[in-house]
Structure 1
Amino acid sequence: MSDLAKLNQTYQRLAVAEAELERSAELLNAAKSKREAIRAEILESARRMALTVSGEIKLGGLEAWLRRREMALATADLLREAEGDLRQAEADGSATRNRLSAALSAAAVSQDHSDSYEALLARAQSAVDLEVEHKNLREQLERCEREQASRQSALETATADEAQWDASWAEVCKSCWLGAGGTIPSLATVKEVMDRLAELGPAAQRQAGLADRIAKMEEDKAAFSRELAVMAAELGLDRPAESALRLWALMSARVEEARSKKAEKESKHLALEDQILKDRDLEAEIAVCERRKSEMTQLFGVSSLREAEKKLLMIEQRRDLRRRSSIIEREIRDALSIQDIADVEQMLDAADRPALDSEQVELRARFEDQDRRVRELFTAYSKASDEVDAVDGDSAVAAIDEQRRTVLLEIEDKAFSYFRLRAGVVAAEQALRLYRDKHRSSMMLRASEAFQVISRGAYRGLATQPDKDTEVLIGIGADGSSKLAQEMSKGTRFQLYLALRVAGYHEFAQSRTPVPFIADDIMETFDDFRAEEAFRLFADMAEVGQVIYLTHHQHLCDIARRVCPNARIHELAPPLALESRAA
């Protein structure tokens, strides 16, 4: 009866599904008709826009055609702009070449009127470099002449001071014991004598201290020997003829041997006590086991533990059989809705087994047919529901179209934002390039002069070389060779960096109020000669602003005093600060 009720319910659901399927088919036909009308309207609109549009075009194809048309129009506009830029660039290039040729002619530089702009630019750069080199050489010559005159004057002054000091030294020596022999000793001889006299006092004190320590050590040795003799007598040892250290070693060995034996005795005693406790525990456990064995054998009526184990296994099997029996009994009562198992046994005894078997086979076949039919109907219902959901999508189509338009507007807005930012970046890069081109010549000239001075002529100048979007700094050696900045040694790179900072400071001071120039011990890798040239550059910078140099090297302060007499030294405990100002 339960299966018949389920079958009737299935027939009812099948009828409902067939009705819904017919309704879905009607809605599908209506949707197809509406789609064909929309497609015809789209085709008519496309033909009005362009006669070349195919008659089989769809909405996606029309959108692709519109995108291609917009791209073609944009490409044509870009092509026209590029052609105009090209013509303007050619005109600018021709005008620039004419100006460059006129400038070379005015400067009396040989040229060929058929040369290209690059060749003329190379000739102009060579002429400028040659003139700059000549100017540097002339300035270097003038500086060397001034330095020679200064050093000559300093030499004459030093010679006069030396003669006056020799006369004063002779008078001082004659007035004391140094000139008692009628000869005037040299300064080195007097200095050596003074050093020896100064060393005599500490040496005498060290001698007295060592003698006192030796006496005390001898007393300690005698006292140690006496104590060892007393201890040896107490221990019953014969004192050997060797030194007291031998007796001390023998006594130490005896003491260590006694300690080890005492420790071994204590360890054996503890092990013995531990073993006695373990034996007591084992005896107690054996007594307990024997008592439990007697109880189990008496309970099961056996004579050994192996037979008692078999009894326990049989008890476990009986418990499992009872549990399985109760489970099967409960399942039978639940299936037949009968609470008493005796009634169940009577009903099963009265039942016809062949009839029940045939009925079971028939019901199983009907169940399989009905289950397959239900599955087929559920599949058809699911497909119909999916088709109905797909057709009933007017609002979904509108929502998707709205989202597409929103996304296109966002893409357009972000594209304009990107173009604005890109244009700003290009403008900033162009401005930086123009600023570098405008200020490169004067700053590069100052940096080249400063680098030549600091390196003491090892490098005669600096140059740049384009590398993709940037420029690479190159040092020009005295022999005409070139070397990249990253290929220079650490000290040379520091000198190059200082030269660029000096040039930048002068460039900044020309157009703005100068600010203090602070350097923190940057001459760590400089030798004294290059440090001297660096301080000369600082003195020139002090003519237009303030220069502060921090150091903890005393010899740099001495060099600064010699190169720049107006420099002021401030001792800050412990570092030193060097400040140079304009006179």
Structure 2
Amino acid sequence: MRLRNLSLDRFGRFTGKTYDFGPASASGDFHVIYGPNEAGKTTTMEGFLRLLYGFPHQDSYGFQHQRKNLSISGTLEIGDQTRHFTRLPQRDGALTDENGVALPENAMAGILGGLDETEYRKLLCLDDETIEKGGEEIASSKGDIGRLLFSAAAGISDLTAVLDQVQSEADDLHRARASKTRFAILKKEREALDKQIKELDVPASAYRKLKQELEAAQSEEQDLVGKRAKLRSARADAETLANALPMLSEVDRLSALLVGTDDYPTQLDINPEELVGLIEEQSKHTSRIDTAEQALAKARVDLEAIERHPEYLPLIDALQALEELRSRHLGALRDLDRRRSEHADITSEMTSIARQLGATPDGLDALLIDEGTMTTIEGARTALRDARRHAEGTTGDLQALQDRQRALHSQAPVTSDEATDWTAFLEQYGADRLLTAHATARHSVAQAQRTYSDSLAALTIADQQFDTAPTVPIASDAAEALADRVRDLRHDLSELQKTAADHDSDIAAKTARIDQLRDGGGVIGDDAASALKQERDTLWSMHLQVLTAQSAQDFAAAMQAVDDAADKRLSHARDLGELRQLEADLAEAKARRTGTGNALAQAQTDYDAAIAEVETVCQRAGLRNALDPASLPKWIKAAEAARAAQHSLELVRADHADTLNRAETLTQVIAQAATLVSPTLDDAVDTARRKAASQQKDREAKQNHAAEMRSVTTEIRHREATVQAAQDALSAAEARWRDLIASSFAGHIAPEALENGLTPLQSLREDDIKRQQFSRQINGMTEDQALYLAKLQDLATQHALPEETNADALHQSLSALAAQAQAAEERFAQLSEQMRQLEENKAAARAELTQIERRVADLAAIFPASIETQTLADLRRAVATTEKVLEQRETLSRSKHALTDKLRVNNLAQARDCLKGHTAETLEDQIDQLGRDIDDVDTALSTASAERGRAEHALKAVTGDSDIALLTEQKAIIELEIQEVARRHLELRLGHRLAEEAIRRYRDTHRSGMMQAAEATFATLTNGAYVRLDTVPSGQSETLIAYDAAGQAKQAKDMSKGTRFQLYLALRAAAYDQLAAQGQTLPFFCDDIFETFDEDRTRSACQVMARIGQTGQAIYLTHHKHVVDLAQEVCGGAVTVHSI
């Protein structure tokens, strides 16, 4: 693709601005667009991008024209075709062709070879931002452009995206210290299942009793359900009978209405609307017949009243034949008197002109000369006038030259007494080159200083600022690892704290339940029962020793207490089992709490150690206060950037030290010679340039004065000869003029009368032509009038009209006779045709009436003779009655079916039998009673269901075997899935590493051509300062390095800004060659990226742009005049300069 022309119709500050790049030249397609600051160079490049990719929703270039009014158009050469496109800021139809037809967006995408706007900017539209940003990506093999350049030659650019997807899939399965991967989620689910299994795995007790209680509750519940179903069925039967009684009444009512309608048909195929239409048609045709008969009677009367004269009809053609002659006659009546008056006026005017020329009326014909004589006289008059003007002009020119000679004698220039030749001085020191180099050096140092200052400012924390780059005690990747470790430890500590709180809550709940069973439930624990038995045994031993009544009573009381405790324990066996289980669970919960507490203490210790490590790093970096661990990696990266910026500043200062020293020396020399006080280099050079310009101006003024003096003296001698020749020519012209006038007009006119012009003679000649024309017109009009009157009189004689000499009156009489005859014939024919049409209409209406009568008879055939259908009105009434009867029959049939379906019987008789003896009142009472019985059963069923639920709950509380088995099965499934995730992760990770290694080897083998092209271009741009390019591995990608002439290797970030830009330009040029080799050439734009280049490297950069122009199209935008001069110097005719 090539840009033929670009038109910024309404964009930015431009309205109707057009760049015409013309057809591609054999010498190259390199263009330089030059203009001052803010002239619109960047606007031009942005306009081109919008032509290709459209307008953004918020456009910063809509400051002069509203966004909705923006418009950009251009002509593109695509292969052998030339196409014109227009881009508008609208949703639909934003891209149109030369005919205004809207085009789809993919029409432009196909031309661009798949490059999106971001890729085009970074690769082919370069400014200070995109050349640096895209260049960094290229140099480190990152981003889409990096992949394109590092992989395109190997044909594997698509594989990089595939490998990124593989890496992403592997990371989703498992990633170190990540908590959201599939492996981590499955691991947490397995731990949760282990915990749940431990909580549910308890021994069963009192199982048989609880099972018997459940079976009894289920049996009672089933009995109540069966009873409720029977009551509901009985109530449904009663409700059915109650609903059927009104339906039977409706059947009886409809049957009574249909008595006496048996003769009406069972089916009606007549549309009532058709009958209405037939009635309307019958009325319409009857009215047509009446109207036609009335019109026929009137037409017969009018026909008999017509008076016909066919003998006058030939007058029509005769008068038509005279129409042209009559038109000339009427024209003569209008114009004849006027033409005679004009003829007299023109004759009088010619006589007046002859008197003005000094001639008598008798000599008028002598003044009428032919065109040749007129031309000869005009030529002689013009020659006389030119000779006079020439003589006067040459005299005036001679006088002016003499005045100029006297003025030059009195205006001799004053020369300067300056001792220093400032022009030679500036050339000796190379001031122009030094100025450019000095500006570049100052800019580079200032840019490096700004970068360094910005990097120091980025290190500011609260009120602590840094004047120098601090020490970096830890690498940024290590800082990120430390921050991740602190985050994971904080998360683990929080989870352990939550687990400890859950254990505390569980212990408290179990303790409260045990206390409740012991204190409020009457349950005697094993310890209390053992204590009672021990007391009984003690009292028995004492009784055996003393054998007293008191000892016996004490033993009896103790024995009774043991028996009572045994009874209570027997009656509360179920609660006792729960108590024993709770006590075992409590012991286990306390053990788990102890283990969690130990883990929590260890986690706290690890977390404190990690925080201490963060604080140590911050202290070593010179921070007064420790940073938040999450903020540490970002600050460490900023510190690394500050160290790099400091190093870059030192290198820039060293690179430009010689230029700055030479600039200081030149400034001091100029200051001493020109007596300046502490000037800058720019001020000193400007002063020297002004003095050099003043000296040059004085020299040129002296040389110009001497040259002008010589020129004026020579011109005066030439002018004197010219004046004499002009006077001689004037005398000859006057003599010829007098002789010509005398011979042409035979003495009737003096020569002086025509010196001011020949207008009177031309007027006489023109008036004579008009006078002759008026004479011819008058004669023709008179002849036409006579002929017209003679022909009209012949027609009047033929038709016996009285004699008449007035042609208009005679024509009017003849026309009246012809018109009357023609009108009578036309009226006769009109009435005859009207009568014929009326007869036809009357016959057609009668035929339609006959058809209607036949249709009525056909429709009435379905009715028996007992029903009146002779007329349309009778038939319509019969149809309406039949429709009503059919509707009632249908309703009766539906009612019968509904009744028999309701009662589930076969016919109406069986339905009557079912309803016999039932009334609405008795059925309503029965339904109410059944409803109350159902409510009682529902209440009892609710109680039985609650009891059954309680029994089921009690049984489930005892046994958890099935739940344990289910949870164990789930745990086994999760463990299998964990194995599958681990296997899949290993497959992806190992496959990714093997594929990366294969791609790297393949890339090393196949990309040498592109790397050599970039290497050669970079060597050209740096004038041999850098001789080789290579790549080194950097993690999972590669980094570009350059070797200078001394063999030292540098990365792009270690180069000066100008050299770095030259490297990035070389990479773009190599990429452009790569695209061109693949058949894709696109316009290559650069916006003042040579600004940091010195003059020699600028020349080399212009050669590179010209080389790109040989392959495709290169366009450079600049506000530096010296860049334009260098481009023309280096490229010659291969570059075209456009000005804004």
User: Under a length normalisation based on structure 2, what TM-score does the superposition of the two structures give?
Assistant: 0.24
Determine which structure has the larger helix proportion and give its number: 1
| Structure with greater contact order relative to length (CA < 8 Å, sep ≥ 6) | 2
Larger radius of gyration: 2
User: Under a length normalisation based on structure 1, what TM-score does the superposition of the two structures give?
Assistant: 0.40
